[in-house]
A and B are shown apart, each in its own frame.
Chain A
C-alpha cells in the first residue's frame, strides 16, 4: 500500500489528466462539426488541434505509470475511437442524407 501523500499525488494527477482527456475530444468534436457546418476551415483545423492534444494527453497519462497495463490498452482503444468519432459520424450523416433523400442537402 502506498502512503497517503503518494496516493493524493496519484489521484490529483490522474484526475486532472482525465478531466483534460475528457474535455479535449469534446472540443475536437464541437469545433470539427462547427467547421463543417459553417464551412470554416480554421474551425476544423482547431478541432484537429484538440484531437491531437487528446492523443498527447493520453500518452502523458500512460507515462505517469499510474495505469495498469490493462487500462493502458483500454485508454488507447478509447482514444482511437474518440479520434475517429466526429469525422466518421459526419461522413455517416452525409451518406445517410444522400441515400435517403432526393432533395439537395448541404455538403
Chain B
C-alpha cells in the first residue's frame, strides 16, 4: 500500500471525549442489531423467549438503542469538530465529561429495567420510574430529565466555546439554533396526556421534528464540516449550501409533520398540508446528494479517508432513497389510508435510519479513527471496510425488501380486503407473501451482524499499519543518522 504517514496533531480534550462517544455508539449499535435479530426470530417462532423476553421487550431495546447510539454518535461528531471549528478547547469540558458518564450509567440502568422489569402497574409512578410506553419515548421520566441535562450541558459547551472563540461562523450559528430547537422539542415528549389524540399530536413533535427536521439539520452541519475538513471544500460554499439545505428541510419538513396527522383525530386540513409538504420532503435530500457528490466527485473520490468518503456518499444516496423515496411512496392520503401502520412503515423506517443516520455516524467514526491513531495513515484504507459496508448495505436492502413485500401484502389483505379487523390481521400475517418474508428478514439480519463484526474488527485495526511503518522508519533513521 502506498500510504504516506505523518504524525498526528495533538488531540483536544473534547476530541478525546468524542472517542468515548463513538466507542459507546458502536457498542450500542451491536446491541441494537442483536435485539433486532431476536425480534426478527420471534416473528418466525413466536414462542422463542415468550415467557422471559417477549417481542415487546426486544423491540423496545431495538428502537431505544437505535435512537441513543445515533444521537450519541451525532453529538460525538460535534465534540470532535467543535475545537477544530473554533480553534480552541471546548469550554466546560469537565461538566461534559461528568454528564457523559452519568448518561452511560443511566443507559445501563435503563437497559436493565427494560430487560428485567419490562412494565409496571397502571399508575403514574410507573411512567416516572420504569416505562412511559410511547414508542421511541419509552424511557421513564427520570431518563428524560437526565437527557435534558445532557443536552443543556452540550448546548452550553457549544455556545460558550463559540463565544470564547469570538467568531460565530455560519455553521456554528445553524448548529446552535438547531440544538436549541432539538432540546425544546424533546420537552414536548415529557407530558402525560389522557387524550390519545393530543398525546400523539405532541409525540410527533418529538419524533417527526427530531428525525425529519432537527436531526437532518444536525447531519447537514456534520456533513458540511466533513466536506470542509475531508475534501477541502471552501467554507463559503459549504455554508451557503448548508443554508439552502436548512431552508428546504425546515421549509418542507415542519409542515410535512402533517402526514402524521391524517388519522389520529386531527382536522382534515392536515391531509392536504401533510400530503403536499411531505411530497416535497425529498427536495433537501436531493440537494444533499448533489452537494456531496459534486465535491466528492471533484476529487475523483480519492480522498484522504476512503471509508469516510464512501459513507459520506452512501449517506447522501441512502438518505434520499430511504427517507425520500420510501417515505414518499406511501405519503399520499389515498394510499396512506390503507398502508398506514403496516409493515411498509417499518420498511421506510429501516432504510431511512440506515441511510440518513447510520451512514453519517459511520462516516464520522472513520474520520475519528483516522485521527485517533498516534500516526496518521493517508489515505486511510483497508480491505475490511469494504466488506463491512457491502454486507451491511446488502443486509439492509434485503430487510427493506422483505418489509416492503410484507407491507404490500398486509395493506391489501388486512386493510383493503379484510376490513382491518383482528381476523384480517391474522389472515395477513399468515399469508405466504407475508410469512415467507419473515425468513428473509432473519437471514438478512444475520448478514447485518456479520457486517457489523467486520466493521468492529476494521475500526480496531484500520490505519494501524501506519504506526508500524513509522516505527520501522524511526528505527531505520535512528540507525542511518540523517533524515
Q: Which residues of B contact A19 (CB under 8 A)?
A: 329
- Per-residue CB proximity of A77-96 to B under 8 Å, as 1/0? 01001000110011011101
Which of B234, B286, B408, B416 interacts with A85 by CB under 8 Å? B286
Establish whether residues A26 and B324, one from each chain, have CB atoms under 8 Å apart when the complex forms.
yes
How far, in Å, is A12 (CB) from chain B's closest CB? 6
Instruction: Give A1-22 interface residues, CB cut-off 8 Å to B.
Output: 4-5, 7-8, 10-12, 14-15, 18-19, 22
Establish whether residues B286 and A12, one from each chain, have CB atoms under 8 Å apart when the complex forms.
no
Establish whether residues A71 and B276, one from each chain, have CB atoms under 8 Å apart when the complex forms.
no
**Nearest opposing residue in chain A for B404, CB measure:** A19
Bound together, the chains give a CA A25 to CA B329 distance in angstroms of 11
Which of B289, B296, B338 interacts with A29 by CB under 8 Å? B289
Interface size on B, residues (CB 8 A): 43
Q: Which residues of B contact A66 (CB under 8 A)?
A: 334
Bound together, the chains give a CA A18 to CA B404 distance in angstroms of 13
Establish whether residues B325 and A23, one from each chain, have CB atoms under 8 Å apart when the complex forms.
yes
B59 at interface (Cβ–Cβ under 8 A)? no
Q: Which residues of B contact A93 (CB under 8 A)?
A: 241, 290-291, 294
- Among B280, B294, B326, B411, chain A packs the most CB atoms within 10 A around the CB of B294
Interface size on A, residues (CB 8 A): 42
A34 at interface (Cβ–Cβ under 8 A)? yes
Instruction: Give B264-296 interface residues, CB cut-off 8 Å to A.
Output: 275-276, 279-280, 282-283, 286-287, 289-291, 293-294, 296
Establish whether residues B287 and A89, one from each chain, have CB atoms under 8 Å apart when the complex forms.
yes
Establish whether residues B324 and A97, one from each chain, have CB atoms under 8 Å apart when the complex forms.
no
Establish whether residues B416 and A7, one from each chain, have CB atoms under 8 Å apart when the complex forms.
yes
Q: Known contacts A8-B416, A12-B412; is A101 also within 8 Å of B236 by CB?
A: yes
Instruction: Give B309-338 interface residues, CB cut-off 8 Å to A.
Output: 317, 320-321, 324-326, 328-330, 332, 334-335, 338
B226 at interface (Cβ–Cβ under 8 A)? no
B415 at interface (Cβ–Cβ under 8 A)? yes
How far, in Å, is B355 (CB) from chain A's closest CB? 12
Q: Known contacts A89-B286, A97-B294; is A11 also within 8 Å of B329 by CB?
A: no
Q: Known contacts A11-B412, A37-B293; is A81 also within 8 Å of B240 by CB?
A: no
Bound together, the chains give a CA A65 to CA B194 distance in angstroms of 42
Establish whether residues A101 and B415, one from each chain, have CB atoms under 8 Å apart when the complex forms.
no
Which of B240, B244, B317, B338 interacts with A30 by CB under 8 Å? B317
How far, in Å, is A20 (CB) from chain B's closest CB? 9
A67 at interface (Cβ–Cβ under 8 A)? yes
Establish whether residues B332 and A18, one from each chain, have CB atoms under 8 Å apart when the complex forms.
yes
Bound together, the chains give a CA A103 to CA B338 distance in angstroms of 53
B339 at interface (Cβ–Cβ under 8 A)? yes
A69 at interface (Cβ–Cβ under 8 A)? no
Q: Known contacts A11-B411, A26-B320, A106-B297; is A96 also within 8 Å of B329 by CB?
A: no
Bound together, the chains give a CA A81 to CA B281 distance in angstroms of 12
Establish whether residues A8 and B236, one from each chain, have CB atoms under 8 Å apart when the complex forms.
no
Task: Taking A8-B416, A15-B412, A96-B241 as given, write out 17 further A-B residue pairs in contact, using a Cβ cutoff of 8 Å, ordered by the A residue number.
Answer: A4-B419, A7-B417, A11-B415, A12-B412, A15-B408, A19-B329, A22-B326, A25-B282, A25-B325, A26-B320, A71-B332, A78-B279, A85-B283, A93-B294, A94-B294, A103-B234, A106-B297
**CB-defined A-B contacts under 8 Å, sample of 5:** A11-B338, A15-B339, A18-B329, A66-B334, A100-B237
Interface residues of B (CB under 8 A from A): 234, 236-237, 240-241, 244, 275-276, 279-280, 282-283, 286-287, 289-291, 293-294, 296-298, 317, 320-321, 324-326, 328-330, 332, 334-335, 338-339, 408, 411-412, 415-417, 419
Q: Which 7 A-B pairs have the closest CB atoms?
A: A37-B297, A11-B416, A106-B298, A26-B325, A22-B329, A100-B236, A8-B416
Interface residues of A (CB under 8 A from B): 4-5, 7-8, 10-12, 14-15, 18-19, 22-23, 25-26, 29-30, 33-34, 36-38, 66-67, 71, 74, 78, 81, 85-86, 89-90, 92-94, 96-97, 100-101, 103, 105-106
